[in-house]
Homo-oligomer: A and B are copies of this chain.
């Protein structure tokens, strides 16, 4: 079942390429890594098995990622970026701090529901303590953007006066927990319940406006 579609994102300015890459390797690698971890757990992942799952040779895998740690971290970053994109895309459609933050919140939760294994993988890896997993610019940027969105809420008097980091914890943590539940238990949660959680969380950090 060797895929027949070709890579599309080649840089035009490259003088000339010899063999073009066949199939979307990175995508296959990502999928295989997440599936493998979901199946055997983080304490028993193996590169060989991931390669087998992705239907490519170990050598090829090591062409894309220098070490096992690199591979894991790369996938982790992919998922993190995906989640961030989903949140930011959702926010872009909305106006006002509450609408935007609410959209981001639900985007996060919905990611956990629609891509449980991906989400759980990211959760598992974010607990890893090795050097590889720290001080990455992309991840830092993600953190900054989310914080900025919350800061905007504070500045526009929609949220209470408190450190943005503090409010982020209160907002994001339950969303992550919900998404994690979805990915572990597999059980679906009703939209109404999610609304309830958000409303209560929001109740805590929102400024009380007399004209509501």
Contact = CB atoms under 8 A, between A and B. Distances in A.
A79 interface: no
Judged by DSSP, the binding face of A is helix
A167 B203 CA distance: 13
A158 interface: no
How many copies of the shown chain assemble into the complex?
2
A177 B169 contact: yes
A148 interface: no
Contacts of A154: none
A173 B177 CA distance: 6
Contact of A169 (B174, B203, B205): B174
Interface in A36-88: 38-43, 45, 68-69, 72
Interface stretch (A5-13, A23-31, A93-101, A192-200): A192-200
A72 B43 CA distance: 9
